[in-house]
Amino acid sequence: MRRVLASLALVLVAGCSWPERAAAPSAPAISSPAAPDSAPAAIERARTALHRKEMGKYIEYLNLALKLDPNYQPALAELGMVQAATGDLKTSVATLTRACRLNPQDVSCRLNLASSQQKLGQTEAALQQLHTVQQLQPGNPRSYYLEGALYADQGQHARAIECFTQAYNRSMDAKVLVSRGMSHLKLGDKQLARHDFQAVVDHCPDP
């Protein structure tokens, strides 16, 4: 018996493999998850990929959702955001316009559409979306902020200040005061600009 154990030890140390008849059964291969068979399942998988910061898979699942259902509004809304983020603004506007038509109550989709339209210089179309948001959700600060930014870009700083004030009253976000302070400066009102900038400093914690 001792000789048998010694021989077995030598085999293991030498790195020799077990005889085939004595081999332990290999573990079964782990099967990859089945592909989603519905648009809601695909977008759920997409959002999981986004949470994991797997952008390639995120876009892949969004496209799969639309392949399964070309009119699936949540996938269109999210794909439009991706297109805007990558600089494909014209495609983004087309995609988000479809999404808004499918769900006119989707405030977030309308805001993203207005943002892309603004960047393309489609001022009237962007304003229309922002005003619709303000009707649907009067307390939404982003609609007023985007409207203020649009007027500021056009040099209409008095109107921009009104919108920034509306946005700040609804959010108390110090970042809005930076934009409003800049519009005050453009109008030559240094005192009000200084007041806004000081408020920003007061909101920010010490480094």
Residue type for position 78: E
More confident position, 166 or 203? 166
- Answer for the pair 87, 64: CB distance below 8 angstroms, yes or no: no
Structure tokens at 88: 């494909």
- Answer for the pair 14, 6: CB distance below 8 angstroms, yes or no: no
pLDDT at residue 32, rounded to an integer = 52
Q: Is the pLDDT of residue 8 over 60?
A: no
Q: Is the pLDDT of residue 9 over 60?
A: no
Q: Is the pLDDT of residue 10 over 90?
A: no
pLDDT at residue 96, rounded to an integer = 98
Q: Is the pLDDT of residue 162 over 90?
A: yes
**Share above pLDDT 70 across residues of the chain, in percent, rounded to a whole number:** 82
Q: Where residue 35 falls among pLDDT bands split at 50, 70, 90?
A: confident
C-beta neighbour count of 79 within 10 angstroms: 25
Buried b (16+ CB within 10 A) or exposed e, 118-155: beeebeebbbebbebbbeebeebbbbbbbbbbbbbeee
Whether domain 139-207 has CATH 1.25.40.340: the reply is: no
What is the distance between the alpha carbons of residues 136 and 25, in angstroms, rounded to a whole number?
A: 63
pLDDT at residue 205, rounded to an integer = 59
What is the distance between the alpha carbons of residues 70 and 76, in angstroms, rounded to a whole number?
A: 8
Buried b (16+ CB within 10 A) or exposed e, 45-70: bbeebbeeeeeeebbebbebbbebee
Question: Which CATH architecture group holds 37-122?
Answer: Alpha Horseshoe (1.25)
What is the distance between the alpha carbons of residues 139 and 126, in angstroms, rounded to a whole number?
A: 18
**Residue ranges covered by each domain of the chain:** 37-122, 139-207
139-207 and 37-122 share a CATH fold: yes
Reference 86, options 74, 95, 97; nearest CA is 95
Angle formed at CA 132 by CA 44 and CA 75, multiple of 5 degrees: 15
More confident position, 206 or 131? 131
Q: Mean pLDDT throughout 167-186? A: 95
pLDDT at residue 45, rounded to an integer = 95
pLDDT at residue 58, rounded to an integer = 95
State the average pLDDT for the chain.
86
